[in-house]
Amino acid sequence: MTGYTLGPSAQRALDGAKSEAERLGSEAIGAEHILLRVTADEPAVSVFRALGLDERLVRERLEAGARKGKPRGAESGELLLTSHARRLLEVATTEARQRGTELAAEHFLLAAFSEPRGTVARLLNESGVTPATARAEVLRAIGAEPERPEQGDLLGAPVVEKAAARKERRTRPRETEAAGGAAAAAPARGGDRSARRKGGKEDREPARPVTATQPPAPEPAPRQPLPHLRRDRSDWGPIWRRVLLVAVPAALLANYLHLSPVVVFTLACLGVLPLAGFMGDATEHLSARSGPTVGGLLNATFGNAAELIIAIVALQAGLVELVKASIAGSILGNLLLIMGLSLLAGGVGRSELKFNRTAVGLSAGMMIAAVVGLVFPALFHATHPDPSAVTELRLSEGVAIVLMIVYGFSLLFTLKTHRWLIGGDPHEMPGPIWTPLKAVVVLGIATTGVAVMSEVLVHAAEAVTVQVGVTETFLGLIIIPLIGNAAEHATAVVVARKGKMDLALQIAYGSSTQIALLIGPLLVFIGLMLGQEMNLVFTPFEVMAVGLATIVASLGTADGESHWFEGVQLLAVYVLIAIAAFFV
């Protein structure tokens, strides 16, 4: 199966992995099943204890991460292995061959600690343990020699690249000797260096011993300007954001000169786009400095701040129906447009897309619960013979309280008690992280700018509906959510194109649940403070559209796998809803 001699412990691991897969109801043996069997014996138990990890927690995480994946390319008579399991077996075989021993259980551990992704990688990252430290602990537990510097350099590289690099290092001294010793072999790091000779003999610098816990000193990096003197252009974001910043003063000028409402509305919409992007950037930079729990709360608080500001301004102007349409439209945009574009962008050039089924299932369940909460006020309005405005408002307040409590418990679940269950890829920050002062200042300025642009946008909206002939429902369902969610649209598509589907779907589902469970209910109480009767009685069209979008998105992502055509289907549903909204 592996093309290499299996030791007793490795054979037990593979045999036990099959039992683990059957116990968990999986259709194939995954990497987590192999590691579940490995972690039950030594040296894995001692290694995890030495690293400060509870082996029971490790097993729980591995069981949660085990997916019911189907085998790829399995032939008759072979064990049915997922692609991830084959990758683990291949790297473990390389580890054993590199050390000149038969394949054993510890080689599976070394391979798992070398992988940059997966359940074990997330465990190490959350515990602050580096892969090199974990590998060193495995070698110490089995009494093996510490890794050489070149072995450490190869961590996480593809197996083919590892083999090629080792072959190059083995053959380079032979080529040098064949050339008569004219030049010394190049060092592992640092590029070519001329051979130094003294008295006809090569003057070699003695090698310094390297221990497993003390990596070799890296070659000095080229001098860089000090961080506070560097001018990082990424602070201003992509080029389109810098260009659209011109729309902010242009919208103010057009509004002051009382130009056409269509021109003012268009410029105000364009002005909101870069400002919402800056709000998102500032929140991410603050999150990167505040840790996962506080960072998650910050993202939850400011994730849809632009939509909330626009809705508050619209409430002040008395446009209650526009606000309710924008709530439904934001959910539709996230579930259908963002998710559809993400699946399409991530699926191009890939046969299939895989993501965390547990996290997606949790988000889909929250959305279904939110839709149920939004249906009851509309159902009461449709079935009650003579519903009063006061009764509908009180019903909406009760529903809003329940939804906000559910959202609070969801934060506790995902950020505290079961953060490991959700997992997902981190969102890498381009360039240096901003200082807290800078992030707060940018967030404050951008928030103020969005509030000013929202004022201009909302005041021009009523005139636009008359002049262009579009309804308030179409503006709320389609146009305004597109403006408020543009930054999230771009982020989700970019990370999906990089293959980080967990993060892309987290953005789409997370924003939808936040709108349904937090922003919408919060606007009910903000309306009370502003003297507006903001209830949750949505029109039948809006309720049906949100319900159908939730069902379609849930069905497309329930199995933890997808492809680009499912993205096309979601986009088609969004376009159909947009066409229908235009004629409502």
Instruction: Write the pLDDT tens digit of every residue in 270-305.
Output: 998 888 888 878 887 877 676 555 655 676 567 688
Q: 426-456 pLDDT, tens per residue?
A: 555 666 778 888 888 988 898 899 889 988 9
Euclidean distance between CA atoms 161 and 146, whole angstroms: 22
- Can you give the pLDDT at residue 214? 44
- Can you give the pLDDT at residue 301? 67
Helix (H) or strand (E) holding 576, with range, is helix 564-583
Point out the least confidently predicted range of 2-16, 466-480, 515-529.
2-16
- Can you give the pLDDT at residue 578? 93
Statement: residue 335 has pLDDT above 80: yes
CA 113 to chain centre: 22
Contact of 339 with 553, CB cutoff 8 Å? yes
Give the three-state DSSP class for 391: helix
Point out the least confidently predicted range of 243-247, 458-462, 467-471, 488-492.
488-492
**Burial letters for 91-106: b for 16+ Cβ neighbours within 10 Å, e otherwise?**
bbbbbbbbbeebbbbb
Structure tokens at 515: 């709108």
Statement: residue 76 has pLDDT above 80: no
Confidence of residue 137 (pLDDT cuts 50, 70, 90): confident
Q: 485-496 pLDDT, tens per residue?
A: 777 777 788 888
- Can you give the pLDDT at residue 544? 92
Contact of 434 with 234, CB cutoff 8 Å? no
Average pLDDT over every residue of 532-555: 91
- Can you give the pLDDT at residue 569? 93
What is the residue whose two structure tokens read 């003294």?
Answer: 198
Structure tokens at 368: 């279904």
* Furthest-apart CA atoms within the chain: distance in Å: 108
Contact of 549 with 573, CB cutoff 8 Å? yes
Statement: residue 516 has pLDDT above 70: yes
**Could you give the C-alpha distances from 354 to 95, 414, 521, in angstroms and in order?**
27, 20, 33
What's domain 8-72+79-160's superfamily in CATH? Clp, N-terminal domain (1.10.1780.10)
Domain map of the chain by residue range? 8-72+79-160, 240-583
Structure tokens at 414: 């995902």
- Can you give the pLDDT at residue 211? 41
Contact of 554 with 370, CB cutoff 8 Å? no
More confident position, 31 or 545: 545
Euclidean distance between CA atoms 351 and 503, whole angstroms: 19
Mean pLDDT of the chain: 75
More confident position, 301 or 97: 97
**CATH of range 240-583; options 3.40.190.10, 1.20.1420.30, 3.30.1330.10, 3.10.28.10:** 1.20.1420.30
- Can you give the pLDDT at residue 237? 61
- pTM for the full predicted model: 0.61
Confidence of residue 482 (pLDDT cuts 50, 70, 90): confident
Q: Counting beta carbons within 10 angstroms of the beta carbon of residue 128, is it exposed (0 to 12), middle (13 to 18) or buried (19 or more)? A: exposed
Euclidean distance between CA atoms 271 and 245, whole angstroms: 6
- Can you give the pLDDT at residue 90? 79
**Could you give the C-alpha distances from 473 to 61, 286, 469, 487, 536, in angstroms and in order?**
46, 36, 12, 23, 15
More confident position, 42 or 236: 42
- Can you give the pLDDT at residue 160? 40
Cis peptide before 227 (omega within 30 of 0): no
CA 164 to chain centre: 33
Q: Which residues contact 515 (CB under 8 A, 6 or more apart)?
A: 304, 307, 327, 330, 331, 334
